[in-house]
Amino acid sequence: MSEGITVLTGGVGGAKLVLGLMQVAAPDDISAIVNTGDDFRHLGLAISPDIDTLLYTLSGKANAAQGWGREGESWSFMDALKSLGGEDWFLLGDGDMALHVLRTHLLARGETLSAVTGRFAAAWGLGLSVLPMSDDPVGTHVITDSGELAFQSYFVEQRCAPAVRAIRFDGAEQAKPAPGVIEAIASPSARAIVIAPSNPWLSVDPILAVPGVREALAAASAPVVAVSPIVGGKAVKGPTAKLMNELGLQINNRTIAAHYAGIIDGLIVDGRDGGEGIDIPHELTDTLMVSLDDRARVARAALALADRIAAGR
Amino acid sequence: MSEGITVLTGGVGGAKLVLGLMQVAAPDDISAIVNTGDDFRHLGLAISPDIDTLLYTLSGKANAAQGWGREGESWSFMDALKSLGGEDWFLLGDGDMALHVLRTHLLARGETLSAVTGRFAAAWGLGLSVLPMSDDPVGTHVITDSGELAFQSYFVEQRCAPAVRAIRFDGAEQAKPAPGVIEAIASPSARAIVIAPSNPWLSVDPILAVPGVREALAAASAPVVAVSPIVGGKAVKGPTAKLMNELGLQINNRTIAAHYAGIIDGLIVDGRDGGEGIDIPHELTDTLMVSLDDRARVARAALALADRIAAGR
């Protein structure tokens, strides 16, 4: 039986599903392709928020209550930085700094982001393959009523307040998929390709914007299944609902299915929403991932749907 | 009366004297010219150990017991760095990282080390001028029985264990004094130029190796007074005595006076050692600086000797 599982993911929500997949499949069968459109340079440091969230979540270091950063983090660096008049709108925890400083150093020495990410995942014994979508810089920019903003300015500094009119992925056209990305999607031994319930417009679209990724998904021999970020007629995370409204989109699973049309073969939807109007294979489950059991349940549902689709081919 | 006081200093010992000078003179009359021969890049960060020690000491943030770094420092960064397999022979405290990260960032944006240092001193309200000896890189290298070592490798990684045969200052010949350095030494309104009791070979010689500094000291209108690092026939700090032995030098004040011959007009020596054999103006005092009062006493003695020399001209 085919065992390879490839998951496309952003930060927090996606990391929950990847953690669920780690409970129900062997970690070394899993490849996570991670959004790097949020990556940016801050104080000269190379910061990869979604990769870091995944590394922290999978290694049990994440601050789950806060939704970002490390559990038990200390803040001496920020305090000292403020005392020196440094920019303080982006919070960098003391332990968190290790990822940024070491990554920046290794990139400056000529290592690729994939190599650095693989090194970190291995150092923390994670087992799975953590693959940045690209080793080339791709920057998510948000065109808002207050002008164009780089992602972190919009998301962190402005707390998603400006109304979004459009989104673009700077550098995507020139970017190449990182080593292993296309291979993980196109692998003839793949069992399933899962799109995590990350924000489709801000976290998954950057991955799809890397040339070759969309085509590989459309041509994949393994079923491609998305887990919808809609739960009970709302987006789980506030900014997703706000963004969908601003883009004039209805907040329901038809919108999600339409967004991924041509790519996905199936959709996992929340039981509260039902499958009405969804004309592709789908399964209902409770998709709200609070506990580790929740994460495993959603992962199992996604794999079961993929297996059902594969069996019907 | 002339009020300007210029002090040439390395790290810990020198910083104590500068703090003493701050007690007995107006901070804005004081210029500290600081050794940058110990500066190095570590994990891509621009680290200036002597400047940092001075900034911490003068702002009351120094860990006096430890002799380096910040009081009440936390170590989450190092813990996380080790978990990622990063180099861990040089300890970087969480709060300490702010100086290195912000300095690295500002230098990368094109600011000079003097501008960055001035910015930090101002942010912490220090009042005095803290001047790196040069904005150009000068690297102290130690030629030892185990080969040539960059200063931090010798001092921190190898804990001064290898026997030193010679010392060279890489890049010194091409370095220019930082803005304000020659002006502070040559100022016609200067009251005194003080050489702090830092290691003459490792901490003061790099400053003297910057073209123009030695000549400016020799030609200065203000008296130049050194505070000897010898106390009671020993060097206050172990590595200085070990180094002097390895260089075949007698550990006494005649060696210090000879080392600074042609530059200094007077020498402050410890009462335990006496002035025997010293053929330049000198004063005896207790030069061991344990308390803040000690630091002020040594500073007063240095200024008094300078005033006496000036009065006799």
Residues 6+ apart with CB under 8 A from A222: A2, A4, A6, A187, A190, A191, A192, A193, A306, A310
Choosing among B52, B56, B70, B77, which should be mutated to test the A contact, i.e. which has the most A CBs within 10 A?
A: B77
Smallest Cα distance from A98 to chain B, Å: 5
Chain B residues closer than 8 Å to A102 by CB: 43, 81, 84, 86
Distances (CA, A) of A246 to A154, A160, A258, A273, B75: 14, 11, 17, 22, 44
Place of tokens 């002020």: B296
SS3 A306: helix
pTM comes to 0.93
Set out the domains of chain B in order of their start, with CATH numbers: 4-147+149-158+166-311 (3.40.50.10680)
* B105 vs A44, A93, A119: nearest CB: A44
Q: Do B86 and A73 touch (CB under 8 A)?
A: no
Smallest Cα distance from B116 to chain A, Å: 10
Interface contact A52, partner B, CB < 8 A: no
User: Residue A3 has what pLDDT?
Assistant: 86
What is the separation of C-alpha A274 from the centre of its chain, rounded to a whole number of angstroms? 25
Question: Which three-class secondary structure string do you get for A32-82?
Answer: EEECCCCCEEECCEEECHHHHHHHHHHCCCECCCCCCCECCCCCHHHHHHH
Task: Tally C-beta pairs within 8 A across A and B.
Answer: 104
Smallest Cα distance from A150 to chain B, Å: 19
Interface contact A83, partner B, CB < 8 A: yes
Nearest to B14 by CA among B228, B197, B257: B197
Interface contact B77, partner A, CB < 8 A: yes
- Judge whether residue B26 has pLDDT over 60: yes
User: Residue A257 has what pLDDT?
Assistant: 97
pLDDT in tens, B166-212: 999 999 999 999 999 999 999 999 999 999 999 999 999 999 999 99
How many Å apart are CA A278 and CA B218, to the nearest integer? 88
The phi and psi torsions of B60 (rounded to 5 degrees) equal: 75, 15
User: Residue B2 has what pLDDT?
Assistant: 67
- Judge whether residue B1 has pLDDT over 60: no
How many Å apart are CA A99 and CA B78, to the nearest integer? 11
ipTM of the complex: 0.92
* B98 vs A73, A86, A96: nearest CB: A86
Q: Do A101 and B43 touch (CB under 8 A)?
A: yes
pLDDT in tens, B216-268: 999 999 999 999 999 988 877 768 889 999 999 999 999 999 999 999 999 99
pLDDT in tens, B79-101: 999 999 999 999 999 999 999 99
Strand partners, B31: B6, B129
Smallest Cα distance from A292 to chain B, Å: 25
The phi and psi torsions of B283 (rounded to 5 degrees) equal: -135, 150
Tell me which chain A residue has its CA closest to the CA of residue B42: A105
Mean pLDDT, contiguous 10-residue spans, chain A (313 residues): 88 94 97 98 97 96 88 96 96 97 98 98 97 98 95 91 96 98 96 97 98 98 97 80 93 96 97 92 95 96 98 91
DSSP B262-288: TT-SEEEEETTT--TT--S-EEEE---
* B120 vs A73, A84, A119: nearest CB: A84
pLDDT in tens, B28-72: 999 999 999 999 999 999 999 999 999 999 999 999 888 888 999
* B77 vs A45, A78, A98: nearest CB: A98
User: Residue A148 has what pLDDT?
Assistant: 96
Chain B residues closer than 8 Å to A94 by CB: 74, 76-77, 80, 94, 97
Half-sphere exposure (Cβ direction) of A275: Cα atoms closer than 13 Å:
11
User: Residue A60 has what pLDDT?
Assistant: 94
User: Residue B267 has what pLDDT?
Assistant: 98
User: Residue A235 has what pLDDT?
Assistant: 75
Could you tell me which residue, B303 or B155, shows the higher pLDDT? B303
Tell me which chain B residue has its CA closest to the CA of residue A106: B43
Smallest Cα distance from A142 to chain B, Å: 26
User: Residue A23 in contact with residue A296, Cβ under 8 Å?
Assistant: yes
Smallest Cα distance from B53 to chain A, Å: 15
Interface contact B94, partner A, CB < 8 A: yes
Exposure class string for B16-30: b at 16+ Cβ within 10 A, else e:
bbbbbbbebbebebb
Average pLDDT, chain B: 95
Choosing among A41, A52, A76, which should be mutated to test the B contact, i.e. which has the most B CBs within 10 A?
A: A76
